[in-house]
Amino acid sequence: MPQVGGINVSDCICQFAEALGPAKQTLIAFIDSAIALLQAAKIVEQLASFSIEDYGRKALLEISLVYYQTLVADVAAGVNVAVGFTTRFSDCAPVSSFSRKVKALRDDFLGPLYEKEYEIQQYIEAINDKARKVQQLQKTIDFLTTWKDAIDACGT
């Protein structure tokens, strides 16, 4: 079975193309128009939503995110150990005081870091969403092109 752009030009596709009769050219013209429209939309999306500043900011934010995640992981691990061990000695005033200070450190320090980490992830995701829109448009263009070629490969 011959292939056109990854699609097996099977008998049913050719039967479909033959059943179209003269409308086959109308369908091909429609697909060409849809492809042109999607290519224009892709260009507009690229021009309107991408800036070099976004990519630079994204790179810096990704580096910041790794820093925040490492910082949070190190501090959180220490806090968990301290709180876990001090709980058993809560009746000892100095240990209880230390535990309260560690918990306050966790709340005052880690809370804002978790919030900052979330903000960075959201910004990075927003930039990635822009790229996904363009990729989705290209996938649709590729799909339509493949189908047009498959239908066109069948007899008239």
- Residue 139 pLDDT: 94
Query: pLDDT of the chain along its 156 residues, tens only?
Result: 455 555 566 778 888 888 888 899 999 999 999 999 999 998 888 777 667 777 777 788 888 888 878 878 888 888 888 888 888 888 899 999 999 999 898 888 888 888 888 888 888 888 888 788 889 999 999 999 988 988 888 865
Domain ranges of the chain: 3-153
Give the position of tokens 């479909």. 16
- Distance of alpha carbon 150 from alpha carbon 133, whole angstroms: 26
Q: Which residues of 126-139 are buried (b: 16+ CB within 10 A; e: fewer)?
A: ebeebbeebeebee
Sort 59 into a burial class: Cβ within 10 Å, 0-12 / 13-18 / 19+: exposed
